[in-house]
A = this chain, B = another copy of it.
Amino acid sequence: MNVDSNTGSEIQSNDYSLQFRRFLDKPAVESRLLLCALASTTAHVEMLRQTGIVEKESAAAILNALAQLTREERAGNHFLLPVDGDVYEAIDRRLRESIGDDVVLLRKAKSKNDQTATDLRLYLRAEVLKLAQLLLDLRKLLIDLATRDIEVVMPGYTHMQPAEAILLSHWWLMNECRFARDFSRLLELFTRINFLPLGACVMAGSREPIDRDFVARKLGFDGVIQNSLDAVTDRDYQIEFAATASLLGLHLSQLGSELLLWATQEYAFITLPRHLLVHSHTMPFKRNPELLEVLRARPSLIFGRLMEFITELKAVPTGFSQDLQESIPGIADVAETLRLLLELAAGILPGIEPDQLRMKEVACADLVNVGNALDYLLERGVEKNIAVRSLEHLSTYCRTRNKYLSDLSLNEWQRYSPAFEMDIYEHISMEDSIGAYCSFGGSSTEQVELALTRAREALQKDEQRLLEQNTKVPPL
């Protein structure tokens, strides 16, 4: 029997070093990692059998034992113990119990270096697909809200000052656009993750006649990583994941942050249902939108993790080292946090009720009409400086008397400029202004309806894209 010396890195944790290993403290994540390790080990042994590197009978025994462990773990009997340095030692321990010394056959043409690299990719690609699904759900939700609110008028802001009246649907769809970009980035990232490191062994490749393509196919990878040094060293995809997650997190935070603003008593644009508010025994009318605060604040965790991963790799030389393992809890943290935040957003959004009256009131508050009135004067040849000053005075007049321009009598108009005549009323209705933004991608009802159609079609295509990736990937 020929033990491959590539397996040299099969390390044995000693008692001292064990305490400085980074445990995840999250049984659910550890269980996923264990299932990844079982899947890659199984595919590897099948390849060893297929290529004749390990005899059929031995291989069969090992595969049986692996299948048994997989069933056990899937059934929720998590078999990682504190004495195990990591999931590999746990598998080793359990296999040795059932197949004895044949456990060393597993190590042929494989090392911890390429296996860890493989299992992390198995773990993360599954997480990425789950997140992509949640993103699709969120986008669907936003499209539904945009469909519902097609008649709700709201103020559009620049510099936090109302500028033009727009449709609330337009705002929902802007959010959908952001998440559609996030979806694209996630799927592109998936195609970079989905390559197989296994077969790189310690880092120079294997001396055995292995078949890496066989393993890649079994595990649903799109191919193998083409340079063995790269295969064990590359962690680009983790940073890219954290960067993609940061953008997605930023969008969720901005959404939460804007909704918090709208939920203030001062804006009073939206109300939240009781179950989304935290209230107190003794101040019954103080209801706190704490969940929106979570949406605003928690993505910061992801930004920090991004910085952690980048810094972790600075000045780390080529080849496997413990530094590359240090990111694992962080990666799991980003994935879990993002999933929670997407679920949170999906839980909050349907409950949000716009106060249509209030929104329209602010939107109509002479935002556009002042501009219209100015145009009116300029078109009638009033000198610009004079026209502007007239409008300033008119506006002060309105504000101090709590009136809108549309409330004014012709008499009042003319007090500020003799150029105003009866047809001024034709220039200042609000409904017109909504219809006016009829350029492609604008906020007119017609344009927003077209945008809704496009959004639904794009969503359908993206569902198809995700489905294709999902079917490639065997379940853990």
Contacts and interface: CB of A to CB of B under 8 A. Distances in A.
B239 A286 contact: no
Given A170-B229, A181-B192, A317-B257, A276 B322 contact: no
A437 B207 contact: yes
Contact of A8 (B174, B286, B296): B286
Nearest to A8: B283
Interface string A153-188: 000111111111110001101100110010011001
22 contacts: A11-B280, A17-B275, A17-B278, A161-B264, A163-B286, A165-B204, A166-B203, A177-B226, A201-B437, A204-B437, A212-B439, A224-B440, A226-B441, A227-B451, A239-B247, A246-B310, A283-B370, A283-B371, A284-B374, A285-B370, A290-B321, A303-B308
B286 A174 contact: no
B323 A16 contact: no
Interface in A110-164: 113, 156-164
Interface stretch (A62-70, A71-79, A387-395): A387-395
Contact of A287 (B20, B161, B231, B298): B161
Q: Most chain-B CB neighbours within 10 Å: which of A8, A247, A282, A362? A: A282
A282 B374 contact: yes
Interface string A282-316: 11111111110110111011011111111111111
Contacts of A284: 370, 374, 388, 391-392, 395
B314 A236 contact: no
A158 B113 contact: yes
A227 B170 CA distance: 8
A291 to B, nearest CB: 6
A109 B16 CA distance: 47
Nearest to A163: B202
A279 B204 contact: no
Interface stretch (A34-42, A412-420, A442-450, A465-473): A442-450
B2 A375 contact: yes
Contacts of A229: 156, 166, 170-171, 174, 443
A365 B260 CA distance: 20
Interface residues of A, number: 166
Interface string A263-274: 111111000000
Contacts of A303: 307-308, 310-311
A260 to B, nearest CB: 6
Given A158-B232, A253-B315, A254-B316, 18 more contacts: A2-B379, A12-B278, A12-B281, A20-B291, A156-B229, A159-B319, A161-B265, A174-B318, A177-B227, A205-B444, A213-B440, A226-B454, A228-B441, A254-B318, A261-B261, A261-B317, A304-B307, A304-B309
Interface in A14-46: 14, 16-17, 20, 22, 25-26
A3 interface: yes
Contacts of A194: none
A444 B208 CA distance: 12
Contacts of A232: 158
A233 B174 CA distance: 9
Contacts of A268: 266
A374 to B, nearest CB: 6
A246 B293 CA distance: 23
B283 A205 contact: no
A220 interface: no
A317 B296 CA distance: 12
A285 B391 contact: yes
A368 interface: yes
Contacts of A378: 1-3
B8 A160 contact: no
B265 A362 contact: yes
A284 to B, nearest CB: 5
